[in-house]
Amino acid sequence: MSGLRALAFAAGAAWALAGLVPAQDSVPDFAREVLPILERRCFRCHKAAETDTSGKVQKPKGGLRLDGRVHFLRGGDGGPVLVPGILEDSEIFLRVTLPADDPDYMPSKGEGLSAEELQIFRRWIASGAGFGDWQGATDAPAAEGSSPPADGVLPTPSRIRTYEILAEGVAQPPQALIEKLARLGALVHPVLAAEDRRLLRVAFPSGSTAIGRDQIAALAGLRGHVAEIDLARTTFDENALFSELARMPRLVRIDLREATIDGSALHRLGDLQHLDVLNLFGCRGVTDDAIQGLSTLTSLSQLHVWQTRISEAGLAELRSALPGTRVVGAPALPTPLPGAESPRRR
Amino acid sequence: MTSLRLVVPLALALVSAGNGQDVRQAARRVDQLVEAGLRDAGQRPEPEVDASTLVRRTFLVVAGRAPTLEELDRWTRRGADHGELVDELLASPGRVSHAFNEWADVLRVQSRFGRRVSGEPYMHFLKDALAQNRPYDQWVRELLTAEGAAHAQGQGATGYWLRDFEMPLDAMSNTMRVFLGTRMECAQCHDHPFEDWTQRQFFELAAFNGGMRYSSIDLRNPQRSMDRQRANVVRAFAQENGANGRTVVRRLLQDQGVGLAGDGNGAIRLPKDYAYDDARPNALVRAHVPFGPDVSLPEPPEPPQAASGPAARVRARRAQPIEPPPLGSREAFAAWLTSPDNPRFTTVIVNRVFKSTFGLALIEPVDDLRDDTVAVYPELQEHLEQLMRELGYDLVAFQRILLNTRLFRRGAAVFDEAGEEPFRFSGPALRRMSGEQVWDSLLGLALGDPDRTLKAPGATAAPIYAEHARIAGLDAEGLEKLLDEEMLRYTDRPAYIRVVAARRAAARERATSAGPSTAADLRAKIQELTVALRKARRSRDQDAVARIVREIADARRDAATQTFVRNPQFVRASELSQPAPAGHFVREWGQSDREQISSSSLDANVPQALQLINGVVDARLLAEGSALRRALDACEDSPARVTTAFRAVLGRDPSSTERRTWVRLLEDEGGSGVVDLVWTLVNSHEFRFVQ
Amino acid sequence: MKRLAHSLDELDRRAFLRRSAAGLLGVGLAPDGLLPHPSRVGTARRVIYLYMSGGMSHLDTFDPKPGSEVMGPTEAIPTRADDVSIGAHFRNLAPLMDRVAVVSSMSSNQGAHVQGRYFMHTSYTMRGTIRHPTLGAWLSQLAGADNPTLPPHVAVGGDVYGASGGFLESRHYPLPIGNPSDGLRNAHLPATVSEERFHQRMDRLAAMNAAFEERYGGQKLVRSYAEAYDQAVELMRSDDLTAFDLEAEPEPIRAAYGQGRFGQGVLLARRLCERGVRFVEVTDGGWDTHVENFDAMDEKLPSLDQTLATLLLDLEARGMLEDTLVVLATEFGRTPEIVSGRNGRNHHPKAFSCLLAGGGIRGGQRYGQTDERGEEVVDRKVTVPDFNATIAHALGLDVEKVHQSPTGRPFQVADKGRPIAELFA
């Protein structure tokens, strides 16, 4: 490239970046203004793989296809080349504005973008890189595809969807109540989204004081907002606490792993319409006597009873009483390998 | 040549080991350059430290441990000369121990490399080289060109390449890093993304070891390595015993023969998936160096002319590729690498010794040089490189000069690693003791003279040599017996296990003695308590559980205490297995697993804190028989005890406030006050950092 | 270390929470009393990260090519997941593969151990002197702990070198456990030291250290030691110390995990997770099978099979699999080509496999494909940053948010990786 031309490009680039050329506020029409640039300058190398006249397969350079919206957003071997709205993170823009003799300058074949083309390109990206209706090539990527599409929708977990429904119409709880509960030893997290406190997960981490009247009273204040409660390894007055839990209309999960209960008050939970998971793992005080109470918890989709004192027969009884519930007992663990050495203790 | 200007005055100032005047002069020059640099940067040098701080620092830097009470007394006395202390420590076995630890981290020394190779001969070689202060370039050259059976006496240098057994490419990239500070690991698979190294250049380097074999016995033709009688025995045995017999023979030959052979044919094949334009995949490339002085290898003889015609071509293609003949390329590579003209060889070693002395190097990191790397003081760097060359790579002499600088006597300076500024050496860098230094220092408190646990360099390798020689010396009959024994592995497994157990027992007999019986009693007690604990847990008796847990912890500590003085494990870190076992004190304090180069760590972690809070002081350090305990018991009064404790642990006298406070406590609390005092000192920052 | 001057009985939980929240990039405890939480809610509260150090062969494990010569003597077996077959050694895992997603299209260009391990743990390539934080450290920094008395991040086995907190403060670094069967040693006061005496010792220590910290506190390592001591004391007082004690586990379960160091390490991870530790990494070495690959597979795979199967079943039965993400990762795979003479496979970063299970992952699938030799990825390549972004997303971390290092450089928790939608249920 001649020096003069290079200078022009560099100047154009510099101007474009410095915004000295008056920026027009209108957003470029993709199909009319941007697509032709791509066709002229980029598609030669950055389109679908094809076999050329000599029989060799020409793959899209750098794994990057620009000939379709989905491909464009997916990017190339190095990841996405476009961050809508952010010029300095959009590699595709940085490359075309490099000095023409830079080894990374794009396009590497054929003529580079003119000053006006750069301007259009820049405005397009800066304004959010809208594609309008354009789809372009929609075939699936051949050979080594790169990262999933930028607008690949990450699914909402089903649990969150349930919570979203449950939280409809619920007001944000007063901060003071949450603070009060936290002061009494609880850890409180939102379950919906960062700032959304309508539904909460309450946990009592190990080492906290036993759950007594004060804690129960504080819980009562947040009654309508508790969706999950983690009482693992805690001790409490079963009747008192379960009575309170029974008044939490939106309670979905109760974790009682290794809690000190005998199961006599479990039936109180029967009123909870949305109770989905009850984890009684390790509750050694729970025996077959609790089966009757548990049988009323028909809303459960999962009930964990491993390492309780519920018998095999009791397990069978539970399963037939709760046909819609997955009752999880002891797992069938693999048999140890023969000849294994025992762990050494120093 | 620009260096000529420096050569002449330096030649005059050339240090013969211990010539005080010349050392001081050389040290002064270093100080001038540092102080000029500080002035330019607008920084002031730290004031010099007092005698006890300096003595402690010198012991740690040179001998890898804190000074004992006697040593501290001697060297803080009026009239004691720092230069003399330096000389004495540089000549002591402690220096060898400490230097070994540092090199072991760089060279990834392990007591065993995989299943087949013992690391003991390698350790023997290194400790020897360090103890004799052989010139660095010389022993590096030996490492690179070693040949022979690894386990035979005198071949320890083979351990270098054997460390990366059958992985010549990794070994080469490790070599470039360790000795030339050049990171080429990426280039094994592709052109380096940032630096200039191409994949081809990497293979051209690897070509210098072309044809090197990892066995001193030619496994394809083992008969060549033995006399006719033994060859016959081996052949007969293999024939009679089928596939298993052949396996037995192969294993025996492999184990006995593991080592290095071949002096390098200067050629290597590129990988099958080589993707660049400058050569075809699988092409043969010749050895070339990527920088520095050129290496010329003799031209290999012409391969025999292929006859013309399609049939001949087909035959030629089908025939085995002719192996390039040996050219001595390994020697050539070693000469290039260790050459004073190699632009990076001297740079790296200068920085390693500088860092070892002052806590940080003029170029950080020391093993990642780039084209644009600049030392924080370029003139000093150049000066030191010239000095190293002039000294003929005598590392002790070089370090002696550094240790005699004013810089070495200055107060420690903080380095903010998150900052953008390089460290400018207003004083040595404040640093934490390495895991080995902490261990060795605590050992000093317990034993009083930790250096007496240091063994002669070849002591632990002796059984390896003996066994190797024994097998090598077997006559035909002995060989047959050995083969039959090994065959049991396939024909009579229980008998084989007995044979192996007997061999191990015999080896143990020859090695260190077992611990005293009180340890066995306590171990039995611990087992009993463990059973009781399980019972208590099952019956949910929380009080009993808590009580028994504490009893077990105490019993464990007692077991250690009873035997610790005579415990073969209470030796300096250089005498432990390399690396120390996972969970060992030294490992918790950062000794690496020796799988990666220079991967020891100085990070803080909770197990370290727990160790010092609960594990070391109350039980061990002041137990019956400990040197510290004896020293404290010998004190007449509380002030003496306070002073002794401070001097033993921190290497200094208490301030008057400190003395007052602690004396009062000791008078109130008596014996437990002493323990509390030692506990506080050992847990303090001052103990673990080198000021 | 000032708070150590308080008596431990007066441990002010609130003050502790405040202090740990203060680590959240300058944001203090939210005024409403809620603990620091990530910006969205994830499906997993914790991660058990199993790291196969050395480069685990993919063909012999989770991406076999039955019938091909590249397999050597390794055979494949079908599993409960449709169209997913795995190495024949995995008898216990095969019926559980409906819980597991196999990512067969991992691809990296870091073919050396140190670089590969670093890249896998941090999503960044090694650059000079910067040490990037690993996911466990980011999690601790950004989302806090579930149990204030236990460390948020633990690393069992392996060297701390591979799993570190990088430029974050050292309280986010993992607590290293060298030998899981040893538990956490020295966690109890000696019998001769009463609580009161201990408080006095800590007070005097604080006084002694004050001058040193004043003078040298600008050095990160000095501050780190102050933190380590704080955390150590916290741990000593924890009711959950028993989590570290494997002897407390019923013998059959302990045995089911496998008696080797890795198996016991995974058991320790489960025990720690039960009590609120949010990120536990367990490293197993010996995967660098340049020599005698198949012997090594015969030795290692049955025990990996046993350990992994036990972990999944155990977590599930405890109701923990739903919100515990189990990851099996390695730095690269191994060549389809079997090196003759050594019977080994060399490094192969272009294509390899990792596993994800639990924590909201949709199991029973093989995501991505390699060609018929396992040489190249032909479908849905997953870069290391993408893989880590998937983990981060499961934990509720914002992968797009740009954080700043102490020197003001921008970083993201998984560099520019993006989470993979199809891997989530």
The confidence band for B560, taking pLDDT boundaries of 50, 70 and 90, is: low
First to last CA, chain B: 41
* pLDDT value, residue B593: 85
CATH homologous superfamily for the domain B604-691: Phycobilisome linker domain (1.10.3130.20)
Do the Cβ atoms of A190 and C13 come within 8 Å? no
Give the best-scoring range by mean pLDDT among A59-68, B316-325, B594-603.
Answer: B594-603
For residue range B219-253, list pLDDT tens digits in order. Answer: 777 777 778 888 888 888 988 888 888 888 888 88
- Chain A interface disruption, residue of C32, C237, C415, most A CBs within 10 A: C32
The CB density around residue A39, as the number of other CB atoms within 10 Å, is 13
Which chain C residues contact residue A207 at CB under 8 A?
A: 147-149, 237-240
Instruction: Please name the residue that has the structure tokens 């009884």.
Output: A317
For A236, list phi and psi in degrees, rounded to 5: -165, 170
* Nearest CB to A178 within list C34, C302, C310: C34
The confidence band for B113, taking pLDDT boundaries of 50, 70 and 90, is: confident
For the cut 80, the answer to whether the pLDDT of residue A59 exceeds it is no
Nearest CA in chain A to C240: A206
* Nearest CB to C160 within list B415, B603, B686: B603
For the cut 80, the answer to whether the pLDDT of residue A147 exceeds it is no
The nearest CA of chain C is from the CA of B152 a distance in Å of: 24
Task: With beta carbons less than 8 A apart as the criterion, state whether B553 and C190 touch.
Answer: yes
The overall average pLDDT reported for chain B is 87
Do the Cβ atoms of B170 and C112 come within 8 Å? yes
Do the Cβ atoms of C33 and A302 come within 8 Å? no
Which chain A residues contact residue C107 at CB under 8 A?
A: 144
Pick out chain C residues at pLDDT < 70: 1-40, 127-129, 159-163, 407
- When mean pLDDT is compared across B183-187, B329-333, B451-455, the lowest value belongs to B183-187
Which chain B residues contact residue C187 at CB under 8 A?
A: 610, 614
User: Exposed (0-12), middle (13-18) or buried (19+): which is B421, by Cβ within 10 Å?
Assistant: exposed
* pLDDT value, residue C167: 80
3-state SS string over chain C?
CHHHHCCHHHCCHHHHHHHHHHCCCCCCCCCCCCCCCCCECCCCCEEEEEEECCCCCCCCCCCCCCCCHHHCCCCEEECCCCCCEEECCCCCCHHHHHHEEEEEEEECCCCCHHHHHHHHHHCCCCCCCCCCCCHHHHHHHHHCCCCCCCCCEEEECCCHHHCCCCCCCHHHCCEEECCHHHCCCCCCCCCCCCHHHHHHHHHHHHHHHHHHHHHHCCCHHHHHHHHHHHHHHHHHCCCCHHHHCHHHCCHHHHHHCCCCHHHHHHHHHHHHHHCCCCEEEEEECCCCCCCCHHHHHHHHHHHHHHHHHHHHHHHHHCCCHHHEEEEEEECCEECCCCECCCCECCEECCCEEEEEECCCECCCEEECEECCCCCCEEECCEEHHHHHHHHHHHCCCCCCCCEECCCCCEECEEEECCCCHHHEC
For residue range B165-182, list pLDDT tens digits in order. Answer: 888 888 999 999 999 999
For residue range C43-74, list pLDDT tens digits in order. Answer: 899 999 999 999 999 999 999 999 999 999 99
Check residue C26 and give left, alpha or beta (phi > 0: left; psi -120 to 50: alpha): left
Average pLDDT over residues B63-79: 95
Q: Report the C-alpha gap between A232 and C413 in whole angstroms.
A: 31
* pLDDT value, residue C159: 64
* pLDDT value, residue B624: 76
For C49, list phi and psi in degrees, rounded to 5: -110, 115
For residue range A85-137, list pLDDT tens digits in order. Answer: 777 777 788 788 776 656 567 887 777 888 888 888 888 888 888 888 787 88
For residue range B247-286, list pLDDT tens digits in order. Answer: 888 888 888 999 999 999 998 988 877 878 888 888 888 9
Residues 543-572 of B with CB under 8 A from C: 549-551, 553-554, 557
The nearest CA of chain A is from the CA of C403 a distance in Å of: 15
The confidence band for B318, taking pLDDT boundaries of 50, 70 and 90, is: low
Do the Cβ atoms of C256 and A179 come within 8 Å? no
For residue range A163-201, list pLDDT tens digits in order. Answer: 989 999 999 999 899 989 988 888 898 888 777 889 999
Which chain B residues contact residue C407 at CB under 8 A?
A: 418-420
- Label the pairing between strands C153-156 and C279-284: parallel
Nearest CA in chain C to A231: C275
* pLDDT value, residue C357: 97
For the cut 90, the answer to whether the pLDDT of residue A140 exceeds it is no
Do the Cβ atoms of C176 and B610 come within 8 Å? no
**CA distances from residue A209 to A217, A256, B283, C16 in whole angstroms, order as listed:** 15, 16, 73, 16
Average pLDDT over residues A20-31: 63
Do the Cβ atoms of C421 and A183 come within 8 Å? no
For the cut 60, the answer to whether the pLDDT of residue A145 exceeds it is no
B684 interfaces chain C, CB cutoff of 8 Å: yes
Do the Cβ atoms of B686 and C161 come within 8 Å? no
For the cut 60, the answer to whether the pLDDT of residue B1 exceeds it is no
Which chain B residues contact residue C109 at CB under 8 A?
A: 189-190
Chains contacting chain A through 3 or more C-beta pairs under 8 A: C
For the cut 70, the answer to whether the pLDDT of residue B100 exceeds it is yes
Q: Report the C-alpha gap between C350 and C111 in whole angstroms.
A: 9
First to last CA, chain C: 45
Which chain C residues contact residue A153 at CB under 8 A?
A: 421
* Nearest CB to B604 within list C115, C204, C228: C228
For residue range C383-424, list pLDDT tens digits in order. Answer: 999 999 999 999 999 898 888 877 677 889 999 899 999 999
Do the Cβ atoms of B613 and C232 come within 8 Å? yes
Average pLDDT over residues A239-245: 94
Do the Cβ atoms of A333 and C314 come within 8 Å? yes
Do the Cβ atoms of A160 and C37 come within 8 Å? no
Of chain B, the percentage scoring pLDDT greater than 70 comes to 89
Nearest CA in chain A to C308: A334
Give which of B345, B18, B304 is closest to B178, Cα–Cα: B345
Do the Cβ atoms of C184 and B607 come within 8 Å? yes
A7 beta partners: none
For the cut 50, the answer to whether the pLDDT of residue A7 exceeds it is no
Q: What are B255's two structure tokens?
A: 């184990």
For residue range B55-66, list pLDDT tens digits in order. Answer: 999 999 999 999
* Nearest CB to A193 within list C41, C181, C261: C41
* pLDDT value, residue B315: 57
Residues 505-534 of B with CB under 8 A from C: 530, 533-534
* Nearest CB to A157 within list C39, C383, C425: C425
Which chain A residues contact residue C17 at CB under 8 A?
A: 182
Average pLDDT over residues A316-324: 93
* pLDDT value, residue C162: 47
- Chain C interface disruption, residue of A57, A77, A154, most C CBs within 10 A: A154
Q: Report the C-alpha gap between B52 and B397 in whole angstroms.
A: 24
Nearest CA in chain B to C345: B167
Domain C2-182+250-423 indexed as CATH 3.10.640.10? no
Q: What does the domain layout of chain B look like in residue ranges? A: 2-98+344-453, 109-335, 462-510, 513-570, 604-691
* pLDDT value, residue A61: 81
Give which of A232, A222, A225 is closest to A191, Cα–Cα: A225
The nearest CA of chain B is from the CA of C126 a distance in Å of: 11
Task: With beta carbons less than 8 A apart as the criterion, state whether C95 and C386 touch.
Answer: no
* Nearest CB to C424 within list A155, A187, A188: A155
More reliable by pLDDT, A16 or B481: B481
Task: With beta carbons less than 8 A apart as the criterion, state whether C222 and C213 touch.
Answer: yes
* pLDDT value, residue A206: 65
Q: Report the C-alpha gap between B364 and B376 in whole angstroms.
A: 9
Nearest CA in chain B to C180: B583
Do the Cβ atoms of B418 and C190 come within 8 Å? no
The confidence band for B14, taking pLDDT boundaries of 50, 70 and 90, is: very low
For residue range B347-397, list pLDDT tens digits in order. Answer: 999 999 999 999 999 998 899 898 888 999 999 999 999 999 999 999 999
B603 interfaces chain C, CB cutoff of 8 Å: yes
* pLDDT value, residue C94: 95
Q: Report the C-alpha gap between B132 and B429 in whole angstroms.
A: 29
Which chain C residues contact residue B364 at CB under 8 A?
A: 129
Do the Cβ atoms of C291 and B165 come within 8 Å? yes
Instruction: Please name the residue that has the structure tokens 């679908």.
Output: A48
Residues 244-283 of B with CB under 8 A from C: 272
Do the Cβ atoms of A205 and C306 come within 8 Å? no
